[in-house]
Amino acid sequence: MTLRVLVVEDDPLLAFDLADRLRDCDFTVVGPAATVAEALKLIEEAGCDVAVIDVNLGHETAAPVAARLRSRSLPFVALSGYSANQYPSEFAGAPKLTKPVDDKSLMAAIRQCMRACA
Amino acid sequence: MSGTVEREAADSLVTREGLGRALFDSSPDCIKIIDLDGVLEAMNVNGQHCLEIDDINAFCGNHWSTMWPPQERAKVNAAIADARTNRIGRFTAFCPTAKGTPKWWDVIVTPVVGVDGLPAHLVVSSRDITEQRAGEENLRAAYDTFRGVVERSPFGVYAVDADFRMALVAAGAQKVFENIRPLIGRDFAEVLGLIWPEPFASEVISRFRHTLLTGEPYNAPGMVERRRDINSVESYDWKIERMTLPDGRLGVVCHFYDLTERQRYEAALRESEQRTHLATEAASIGIWEWNLETNQVRWDAQMFQIHGIAPTVDCTVPFSLWSGMVDPEDWPRQERLLGETVRRLGYGHRQFRISRGDGQLRHIEAVDTVRTGAKGQAEWVVGTNIDITERKLAEDTLRASEERLRLAADVAGIGRGDINYLQDTITLDDRAAALFGMPAGKALPRRDVHARFHPDDIPAIEAKISDSLDPSGSGFMSIDHRTIRPDGSMVWISACKQIEFSARDDLRQRRAVSGILAVLDITARKEHERQIELLMREVNHRSKNLLGVVQAVARQTAKSSPDEFVQRFSERVQALAASQDLLVNSNWRGASLADLVRVQLAHFKDLVGGRIELRGEPIQLSAPAAQTIGMALHELATNAGKYGSLSNAGGRVMIAWHTTKEPAGKRFEMSWTEDGGPPVVAPKRQGFGSTVIDTMAKNGMSGDVVVAFDREGFKWRLECPAAALW
């Protein structure tokens, strides 16, 4: 059974590409979700094993999504265009990737966060 | 008796040696011959003169030592003993002459060897060294006196010797050199170099060398320099001259006068003179009595002096003379005030100007009191006049300088606070009070003002305040901090403070007495800085995001159209760049949809308005919406150019958009409608372009997209909440 990855990314092009890359790596993609509300809904209804989250979703941050995942002990990778010191505290401890990100770093980060949660 | 025999023996001795005889007779010294036991046998004539001896026979045959004062006899006997053992005895001793003249002698006792090789007689040569000794003693005394006078002198005197070393420093000059140790014997050029900066030190050194070499004295004009060693500004008058120093060699003596002290004295003097002047002014009160009935005014001597006119015989002047001297501009008011005082039978206080008898304009302060007669009516007005011109001028000058300062502060927008550490209060001016949101012109407890500090800034402010209150420091501080006013608004303040301490000379007793606080509102500047910071952050974020987008476009293009990768990828990057340009030009405030359509159709710009028709209301798009719709337009145009209505000579495209009001909120609709192109065939597979116009537009705008490959023309329609445009 393949792992289900929740993709949270507001930029449609990036979301599309990210989902596409994850599928190519044999993940089942949940989403992509462009907003916090959509993401929370998907966590509740579809469920996931791991998540890749863009920290900034337009006018809001994905901090509530990270908090929800953490409360369920679900691992996640944080993705942002901001420098590492600009992350909200909810992302503390999660692997952080700065855009643009290549497949290899992305997969390594997913493996790392899943190991940490295992 | 035996004197004769011994004389003969001596005679025979000197006869035996002719040369000796000659020496014996001609020597200016006192030459004696004594036997080995010390008994005097003979003395030359010159010697008898030296010793003021009238009859030598009274001495011959006696022991030589009996001629000496008792306290010197040990030296005499020791010399005899030396000579008897074939050595030369020598001593210096004091012995008065036979007539009591005090004399100092340098005495040499030499053995005269007999035929057996042993001493047979002793020859004593005594030289009178009284004068020489007195000279030496005078010299030593003079030297000691000179040294003592110089060294104990309360004046600034010091001497540099022939080797250019510090030779003498008077007590009064010690303070100048107090940091230079060792001082005496130190190279003078080195000493000056330690105290004074260049080029002053070198100038002084060359003056000293010149005087030492030529003997030309030098009178320096008053100098003011900052000392290198103690960093204080000092001022001196000095002159140098060449002198013979106690060592007999030439040297340079410098006399100087510390003007630093004198200037302080002068300042003190000026201050006391000012006080005296005020006292004099107070004493120079003129007194007058104005008889209302006769309208005559009686003046005292001081009144005549104040008005610059000669006293009259009866010391009385008509009131009109007095009022006529008042400056015409001031008179109406003075007349009114005087009139009121008389009417009220009261007391008045006035200031006005007069033109004195000698033409000078003076400022006068007057006090009037009405004296009443038996029926209670005003009879006399008595009062005083004081010439306050000097005070007035000083006040005017002060006011003008304060006014200038205030103007400068106004221009700069600086608010001021006066701190009183003894009362622990701050008084703020209007501007400073506005910044703190507190009342102006009132002594406020310091802690109340401090309570306005932004909590986050308190640790930094308190550290600075504590540093500035350190009595050993400069008492200056400056800090940028925030204050929260009682209405909750926040202000950024740049504050500078200078503290004045008491008892400046003794650190232990120094304490903060007062302080001046200058505050400037820098809220706008801080806000600007914050915006720049935010902008930098945002630019960083967006450029990284954009690189992510470019990477995604590259990957997707490579995946779906590997054959035309370079062509398609560069077109898509250009499309992204075109949308970016629009956003940058509007400072990221968004882009107009019509403009976005035009830049994305740039390849077909000649057709816009002809085969391509745009129809829509002015609408602004946010940056993400501009990117999503821009990419979709690019893909739609590319497809139209390759396969659709823009691929032949007559096809047309209609691009239309509008917003509608629905019960659930405003909606946005946009359509791309082709006709007149080649017959449409739906593509066999979905490329990246299809994803962009369909899925991505749908997701990006949270709306719906309908794509129809109608035979007569391709159709695309986006429908979404208007809120998604923003």
Per-residue pLDDT for B10 more than 80? no
- pLDDT (0 to 100) of residue B2: 47
Q: How far is CA B683 from CA B442, B631, B706, in A?
A: 84, 20, 16
CB within 8 Å: B549 and A14: yes
Q: What is the pLDDT of residues B607-627, one digit of tens each?
A: 988 999 999 999 999 888 998
Is some CB atom of chain B closer than 8 A to the CB atom of A107? no
Q: How far is CA A71 from CA A64, A67, A68, A75, A90, in A?
A: 10, 6, 5, 10, 11
Structure tokens at B594: 């019509």
pTM score, whole prediction? 0.45
Per-residue pLDDT for B596 more than 90? yes
Query: Comparing C-alpha atoms, which of B567, B573, B575, B569 is closest to residue B596?
Result: B575
CB within 8 Å: A16 and B537: no
Considering only CA atoms, give the Rg of chain A: 12
**Closest to A99 (Cβ–Cβ): which among B548, B692, B699?**
B548
What residue type is B522 in one-letter code?
A: I
Residues in chain A within 8 Å Cβ distance of B699 = 12, 15-16, 32, 34
Instruction: Please compute the mean of the pLDDT values over residues B496-504 and round it to a whole number.
Output: 80
Per-residue pLDDT for B281 more than 60? no
* Residue of chain A minimizing CA distance to B537: A82
CB within 8 Å: B628 and A12: yes
Q: Is the N-terminal amide bond of B663 cis, ω within 30° of 0?
A: no
More confident residue, B587 or B484: B484
**Closest to A100 (Cβ–Cβ): which among B547, B697, B702?**
B547
- Name the DSSP letter for residue B505: T
Longest Cα pair distance anywhere in chain A, in angstroms? 37
Q: Which of residues 677-696 of B touch A (CB under 8 A)?
A: 691-692, 695-696
| ipTM value | 0.87
A62 Cβ contact list (under 8 Å, min separation 6) = A8, A36, A39, A53, A54, A55, A56
**In this complex, how many residue pairs, one in chain A and one in chain B, have their CB atoms less than 8 Å apart?**
75
pLDDT > 90 in chain B, percent: 25
Per-residue pLDDT for B279 more than 60? no
Q: How far is CA A4 from CA A28, A29, A31, B526, in A?
A: 5, 6, 10, 47
Per-residue pLDDT for A5 more than 60? yes
Per-residue pLDDT for B692 more than 70? yes
Is some CB atom of chain B closer than 8 A to the CB atom of A25? no
Instruction: Please compute the mean of the pLDDT values over residues B635-656 and round it to a whole number.
Output: 93
Per-residue pLDDT for B224 more than 50? yes
Q: How far is A118 from chain B (nearest CA, A)?
A: 30
Structure tokens at B418: 């006066």
Mutate to test the interface with A, among B545, B546, B550 (most CBs of A within 10 A): B545
CB within 8 Å: B545 and A101: no
Residues in chain A within 8 Å Cβ distance of B553 = 13
Per-residue pLDDT for B367 more than 90? no
Separation between Cα atoms, residue B239 and residue B253, nearest integer Å: 8
| B669 backbone dihedrals φ, ψ, rounded to 5° | -135, 135
**Closest to A81 (Cβ–Cβ): which among B541, B631, B696?**
B541
Structure tokens at B131: 């004068």
* Residue of chain B minimizing CA distance to A79: B545
- pLDDT (0 to 100) of residue B269: 59
The vertex-B158 CA angle with B156 and B161, nearest 5°, equals: 170
**Confidence band (pLDDT; 50, 70, 90) for B1?**
very low
Per-residue pLDDT for B667 more than 90? yes
CB within 8 Å: B540 and A81: yes
Write out the H or E segment, with its range, that includes residue B296.
Answer: strand B296-299
**Confidence band (pLDDT; 50, 70, 90) for A68?**
very high
**Confidence band (pLDDT; 50, 70, 90) for A29?**
very high
More confident residue, B296 or A98: B296
| B402 backbone dihedrals φ, ψ, rounded to 5° | -65, -35
Q: How far is B552 from chain A (nearest CA, A)?
A: 5
Contact yes or no for A103/A78 (Cβ under 8 A) = no
CB within 8 Å: A12 and B537: no
CB within 8 Å: B692 and A58: no
Per-residue pLDDT for A90 more than 50? yes
Q: How far is B715 from chain A (nearest CA, A)?
A: 22
Paired with A33 in beta bridges are A8
Least confident residue range of B202-211, B502-511, B675-684: B502-511
Residues in chain B within 8 Å Cβ distance of A12 = 628, 695-697, 699-700
CB within 8 Å: A20 and B556: yes
* Residue of chain A minimizing CA distance to B630: A13
pLDDT > 70 in chain B, percent: 90
Residue that the structure tokens 């300042």 belong to: B267
Residues in chain A within 8 Å Cβ distance of B541 = 56, 80-82
- pLDDT (0 to 100) of residue B115: 75
- The DSSP bridge pattern shows strands B156-160 and B512-521 to be unpaired
Instruction: Please compute the mean of the pLDDT values over residues B695-709 and round it to a whole number.
Output: 90
**Confidence band (pLDDT; 50, 70, 90) for B173?**
confident
- pLDDT (0 to 100) of residue B336: 92
Mutate to test the interface with A, among B541, B542, B560, B576 (most CBs of A within 10 A): B541
Q: Is the N-terminal amide bond of A88 cis, ω within 30° of 0?
A: no
Least confident residue range of B79-93, B579-593, B631-645: B579-593
Q: What is the dihedral of CA B150, B152, B157, B162, to 10 degrees?
A: 40
Residues in chain B within 8 Å Cβ distance of A97 = none
Mutate to test the interface with B, among A11, A13, A21, A41 (most CBs of B within 10 A): A13
Residues in chain A within 8 Å Cβ distance of B725 = none
Q: How far apart are the first and last CA of chain B?
A: 155
| B301 backbone dihedrals φ, ψ, rounded to 5° | -55, -40
Is some CB atom of chain A closer than 8 A to the CB atom of B557? no
* Residue of chain A minimizing CA distance to B694: A12
B89 Cβ contact list (under 8 Å, min separation 6) = B78, B79, B80, B81, B82, B83, B107, B108, B109
- pLDDT (0 to 100) of residue B276: 53
Q: How far is A104 from chain B (nearest CA, A)?
A: 14
B362 Cβ contact list (under 8 Å, min separation 6) = B306, B353, B354, B356, B387, B389
Residues in chain B within 8 Å Cβ distance of A56 = 541
Mutate to test the interface with B, among A7, A9, A10, A17 (most CBs of B within 10 A): A17
Q: How far is A106 from chain B (nearest CA, A)?
A: 13
Separation between Cα atoms, residue B352 and residue B365, nearest integer Å: 7
CB within 8 Å: A34 and B551: no
Per-residue pLDDT for B410 more than 80? no
Instruction: Please compute the mean of the pLDDT values over residues B294-300 and round it to a whole number.
Output: 90
Per-residue pLDDT for B121 more than 90? no
Per-residue pLDDT for B5 more than 60? no
Among B284-298, B399-413, B449-463, B561-575, the range of highest mean pLDDT: B449-463
- pLDDT (0 to 100) of residue B632: 94
Q: How far is B695 from chain A (nearest CA, A)?
A: 8
Q: What is the pLDDT of residues B68-112, one digit of tens each?
A: 998 889 999 999 998 888 888 889 888 888 888 888 888 989 888
Is some CB atom of chain A closer than 8 A to the CB atom of B541? yes
Separation between Cα atoms, residue B279 and residue B273, nearest integer Å: 10
Per-residue pLDDT for B4 more than 90? no
Mutate to test the interface with B, among A7, A11, A14, A29 (most CBs of B within 10 A): A11
B496 Cβ contact list (under 8 Å, min separation 6) = B476, B477, B478, B517, B518, B519
State chain B's mean pLDDT as an integer: 85
